[in-house]
Amino acid sequence: MTGVKSLADAVLQYPIAVLTWTIVVAFVARFFWRGYQQRRFYRNLPGPPHSWLWGHLKIMGEVAALLPPNMHPQQMYTEIAKKHGLEGMFYMDLWPFAEGSLVLHDPELMDQIQVTKPLPQHRLANDLLKPMVGDNVIAAANGAVWKRLHNAMLPAFSWSHIRHLTGMMVDECMIFRDILDRKAATGEVFSFEETSARLVFDVISRIVFAFPLHAQTASGQELLDIRELIKLAEGQLDIFTRLNPFNMVRVWWRKREVVGRLDPKLLSHVYERFKLLINEEMVPSRRNPYSILDLMLREHVEQSPEKGRTRNAKISKADEELLLTQIKGLLLGGHGTTTDTLTFLYMLLSKHPEVVQKIRQELIDVFGPDSLAAMEHVVEYPEKLQNLPYTEGAIKETLRLFPAGFGVRQAEAGMTISYKGGNYPIDNGLVLSSNAHGVQWNSKYFPDPEEFRPERWIGENEAPRAYFRTFGKGARACLGQNLALNEIKIILMATVRDYDFECAGLKPNAQPRLTHTRLDMIYGDVIFQELAMEPKPRGGGMMTVRKIA
Ligand code: HEM
């Protein structure tokens, strides 16, 4: 009785202290209960050794400690699989610092979630992309919003349209050659990533808007702004960075400035075109798309009651946001992934003169001995780009070794995946990670995986399509894959015959950092892909270029 009385007295005397104390106890109890549930979930599932206290945090920490900072997880997962002999798939319990994952590195298992029963994108994809470009960018959207965006954009990625873009790509490559000429004349060390990003950005902006944003010939403020948005989102998935008040204010302030400059500029392009379409009563064609913007404006033009009267032509606020997000997403995703691939490709070529020689020979065989005449020829006969198996093999090898994309999916409650006769849970909010890197660096699928061998993709040697996972597979596979392959081929055509590139400032490691690769003993830490919007090369791909006489 005395105890109850004194408790009641305490509540009456110190209500705030008792309330605070109760909340703290409830919070701590909830934290431990959640921790117990999490650890119990992973206890008997396939994975590296699991600890009640640490889950797999120590395992992840051990691998991270071997590597440079801000690593993209794909390579760490490949290392963990190798080190602990984990075949097919493994769970990673990273509570309370990150979402738990099921990492798949078996093509058949990936097919289960990408092809047989395509699962929606994980919430994490939107969490990562939203601070950079906005809510519901196509690559992170699901359900009806994704369907609407996908249907609208699809014609822009058809073969007939891609063929049609060859002339524009050649024009941009000719500007790129002028830039290379200047760099060759000075002999300067330059960032290949930075320089090629400007080329690729102008190409993608011409695909999105049908005009370039002039990143190659002017400041390219839009490109700089978009790249700054990526920088500002860096570390936002890390709980400590996100909750750091100084960082919060810094990011908010810079973002306000960048978005305040970028969004109105992009929107002005949207409205200029929209008003013209309405004024001229032109419904954009799906068969012969003029630009991705036109395809996305199509439904608004069709539905607009303002035909012929531009004064009040409007797009709803929500649709305006969605449109802007897609434009930024395409400019960002379409240039970043391609630039990363180009950077790694030219780094690999600089150390493989025998591959360069074979690409040159193939280009001569198909397009003739004069490299500049070849650039005119390809505009007339773009289908010949499909007849470059060795060149395509070199690109695919780069995409195999350095996948510049990562798919994460989410399953509904109760769903499972089947593996070796057992069914394993894929719900519980797990990030279902299809680790293309893990498949493509597995000697079971690609013997001597770290060898750069374009021959793997040719004729009877050709690796099964199912093993090439860089673009994903199924309904949510990369829409821009054929576009990216064609663009990289044209860039190779424009450069590889007349220029020699050499990596600059490489700092090879004396000992390999990891067990699955020794490439860092040639290139140094630049081979460890950084976490940005996509896994990107470190250090900007510094190079020199020499014009071949
Ligand atoms: C080398 C270059 C590229 C790589 C490695 C790459 C990789 C990827 C990957 C891995 C995905 C996600 C697949 C999944 O979730 O399963 C994706 C989605 C996507 N990519 Fe690419 N991509 C590249 C270039 C491009 C380009 C140039 C564009 C076009 C501008 C583009 C447009 C898209 C779109 C729209 C999606 C979302 C598809 C959807 O969810 O319906 N990509 N890409």
- 22: confidence class by pLDDT, cuts 50, 70, 90: confident
Query: Crossing angle for the helix pair 317-350 and 292-303, nearest 10 degrees?
Result: 170
Q: Could you tell me if the ipTM is greater than 0.95?
A: yes
- The burial of 60, by beta-carbon neighbours within 10 Å (0-12 exposed, 13-18 middle, 19 or more buried), is given as buried
Which domain, by its residues, includes 252?
A: 43-547
pLDDT digits (tens, 9 = 90+) for 437-446: 999 999 999 9
CB atoms within 10 A of CB 449: 18
pLDDT digits (tens, 9 = 90+) for 335-360: 999 999 999 999 999 999 999 999 99
- 290: confidence class by pLDDT, cuts 50, 70, 90: very high
- Who contacts 323 (Cβ-Cβ below 8 Å, separation ≥6)? 270, 296, 297, 315
Could you identify the atom of ligand 1 that is nearest to the CA of residue 485?
A: 1
Residue 103 lies in a domain: yes
d(CA 29, CA 548): 70
pLDDT reported for residue 9:
84
Q: What is the Å distance from ligand 1's center to 478 Cα?
A: 3
Whether residue 244 is predicted with pLDDT greater than 90 in this model: the reply is no
Q: What is the mean pLDDT of residues 377-395?
A: 97
pLDDT digits (tens, 9 = 90+) for 103-142: 999 999 999 999 999 999 999 999 989 988 999 999 999 9
Strand, helix or coil at 451? coil
Nearest residue to 71 via CA among 535, 541, 548:
535
Q: Is 115 in the pocket of ligand 1 (CB under 6 A)?
A: no
pLDDT reported for residue 143:
97
Residue 18 lies in a domain: no
Residue 222 lies in a domain: yes
pLDDT reported for residue 359:
98
Question: Considering Cα of 22, then 23, then 24, then 29, what sign does the dihedral take?
Answer: positive
| DSSP 8-state class, residue 372 | H
Chain-wide mean pLDDT for the chain?
A: 93
Least confident interval from 58-67, 87-96, 225-234, 410-419: 225-234
Whether residue 231 is predicted with pLDDT greater than 90 in this model: the reply is no
Whether residue 299 is predicted with pLDDT greater than 80 in this model: the reply is yes
pLDDT reported for residue 309:
53
| DSSP 8-state class, residue 445 | T
Nearest residue to 335 via CA among 533, 174, 197:
197
Q: 28-33, long-range: CB within 8 Å, 24+ apart, which pairs?
A: 31/96
Q: What is the mean pLDDT of residues 368-385?
A: 97
- 239: confidence class by pLDDT, cuts 50, 70, 90: low
Altogether, the residues listed in the chain come to a count of 549
d(CA 498, CA 547): 6
- The burial of 183, by beta-carbon neighbours within 10 Å (0-12 exposed, 13-18 middle, 19 or more buried), is given as buried
Q: What is the mean pLDDT of residues 219-247?
A: 80
- 500: confidence class by pLDDT, cuts 50, 70, 90: very high
pLDDT reported for residue 118:
96
Token code pair at residue 123:
């919430």
Q: Is 479 in the pocket of ligand 1 (CB under 6 A)?
A: yes
Q: What is the Å distance from ligand 1's center to 533 Cα?
A: 12
Counting runs of H as helices and runs of E as strands, what totals does the chain give? Answer: 21, 11
Residue 24 lies in a domain: no
Tell the residue nearest (CA) to atom 1 of ligand 1: 338
pLDDT reported for residue 235:
64
d(CA 133, CA 127): 11
Q: What is the mean pLDDT of residues 257-278?
A: 94
Q: How far is CA 293 from the centre of its chain?
A: 21
Could you identify the atom of ligand 1 that is nearest to the CA of residue 409?
A: 15
Pocket test for ligand 1, best of 345, 398, 478, 534 (most atoms within 8 A of CB): 478
Residue 176 lies in a domain: yes
pLDDT reported for residue 405:
85
- Distance of CA 225 to CAs 332, 359, 453, Å? 10, 36, 37
Pocket test for ligand 1, best of 337, 398, 482, 536 (most atoms within 8 A of CB): 337
pLDDT reported for residue 475:
95
Tell the residue nearest (CA) to atom 32 of ligand 1: 480
Question: Considering Cα of 32, then 33, then 34, then 35, what sign does the dihedral take?
Answer: positive
Q: How far is CA 320 from the centre of its chain?
A: 24
pLDDT reported for residue 527:
96
- 306: confidence class by pLDDT, cuts 50, 70, 90: low
The answer to whether 478 is a known ligand-binding residue is yes
- 424: confidence class by pLDDT, cuts 50, 70, 90: very high
- 223: confidence class by pLDDT, cuts 50, 70, 90: very high
Q: What is the mean pLDDT of residues 160-188?
A: 97
pLDDT reported for residue 131:
87
Residue 354 lies in a domain: yes
**Which CATH number do you get for residue 226?**
1.10.630.10
Element (H, E) at 407: strand 407-409
Q: What is the mean pLDDT of residues 462-480?
A: 96
Q: Is 134 in the pocket of ligand 1 (CB under 6 A)?
A: no
Q: Are strands 89-92 and 535-536 parallel, antiparallel or unpaired?
A: unpaired
pLDDT digits (tens, 9 = 90+) for 55-74: 999 999 999 999 999 999 99
Whether residue 281 is predicted with pLDDT greater than 90 in this model: the reply is no
Whether residue 289 is predicted with pLDDT greater than 70 in this model: the reply is yes
Q: Are 59 and 53 in contact (CB under 8 A)?
A: no
Residue 433 lies in a domain: yes
- Who contacts 494 (Cβ-Cβ below 8 Å, separation ≥6)? 170, 173, 174, 176, 177, 371, 375
pLDDT reported for residue 27:
87
Q: Is 478 in the pocket of ligand 1 (CB under 6 A)?
A: yes
- Number of structural domains (the chain) is 1
Residue 8 lies in a domain: no
- Who contacts 58 (Cβ-Cβ below 8 Å, separation ≥6)? 51
